[in-house]
């Protein structure tokens, strides 16, 4: 779903075990998987840039004026094997020069500058979260590194309006362990996007039949259970729904 295709850089990211329709006003967790996609090259200093649409669908507000708060998706935490990761949370600005990456550099040795225009749809006030992986390097064939990322969806988020989250993997030191960007430039994968759609409630259906199967006919009556999960702090009135079974 959420994969980079880096033919010359060795990193690859994918998002797994994720709920793409998170409930407003609640936290949403997903697993970010980092792997070395190169068959031959080791990468050094692995990290992930995670872009979150904190300003929401309208992209308004800098969070400083009451009633003008962010109403999108914001960062909470990230862990690897249950341990908290070093996370750099940066708020994007409308300065055309951008904001400096906390440690990534370009091939000239200067800090890599980040602007909202680097990714269509992102605006000043959105978040760049840089996750440092607790590994010196990632080798070809090494088991994937699974990072659990927790975000929060604002209670005022626009319902049923998709918000794009962007991930981009990198190796800060490139192909050797030395911080020498002019000789060995850092590696950066191709960014890709996953939409998350804030929702007010979620309906799930559970098959109560033994081992989830049955024979047909009136002697084999079975039941289903339907659950409605309403977002925390929200009130829904006059809610009705029907479940029509096929013949």
State in Å, rounded, how far the first CA of the chain is from the last one. 35
Whole-number pLDDT of residue 64: 55
pTM (2 d.p.): 0.84
CA distance 16 to 30: 7
Low-confidence ranges of the chain (pLDDT < 70): 1-12, 59-69
Whole-number pLDDT of residue 120: 79
Whole-number pLDDT of residue 10: 57
Whole-number pLDDT of residue 5: 34
Whole-number pLDDT of residue 152: 96
Whole-number pLDDT of residue 65: 55
Instruction: Write b or e for each residue in 187-205: b if 16 or more Cβ atoms lie within 10 A of its Cβ, otherwise e.
Output: bbbebbebebebbeeeeee
């Amino acid at each position: 779903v959420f994969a980079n295709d880096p033919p010359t850089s060795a990193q690859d990211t994918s998002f797994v075990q994720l709920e793409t329709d998170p409930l407003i006003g609640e936290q949403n967790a997903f697993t970010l998987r980092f792997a070395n996609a190169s068959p031959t090259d080791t990468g050094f200093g692995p990290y992930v840039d995670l872009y979150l649409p904190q300003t929401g669908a309208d992209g308004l507000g800098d969070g400083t004026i009451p009633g003008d708060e962010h109403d999108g998706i914001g960062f909470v935490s990230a862990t690897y094997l249950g341990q908290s990761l070093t996370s750099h949370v940066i708020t994007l600005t409308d300065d055309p020069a951008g904001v400096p990456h906390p440690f990534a550099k370009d091939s000239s040795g200067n800090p890599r500058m980040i602007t909202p225009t680097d990714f269509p749809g992102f605006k000043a006030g959105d978040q760049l979260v840089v996750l440092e992986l607790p590994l010196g390097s990632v080798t070809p064939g090494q088991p994937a590194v699974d990072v659990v990322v927790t975000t929060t969806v604002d209670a005022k988020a626009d319902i049923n309006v998709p918000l794009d989250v962007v991930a981009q993997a990198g190796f800060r030191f490139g192909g050797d362990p030395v911080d020498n960007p002019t000789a060995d430039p850092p590696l950066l994968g191709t960014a890709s996007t996953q939409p998350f759609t804030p929702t007010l409630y979620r309906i799930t259906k559970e098959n109560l039949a033994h081992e989830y199967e049955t024979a047909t006919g009136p002697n084999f009556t079975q039941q289903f259970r339907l659950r409605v999960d309403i977002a925390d702090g929200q009130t829904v009135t006059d809610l009705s729904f029907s479940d029509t079974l096929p013949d």
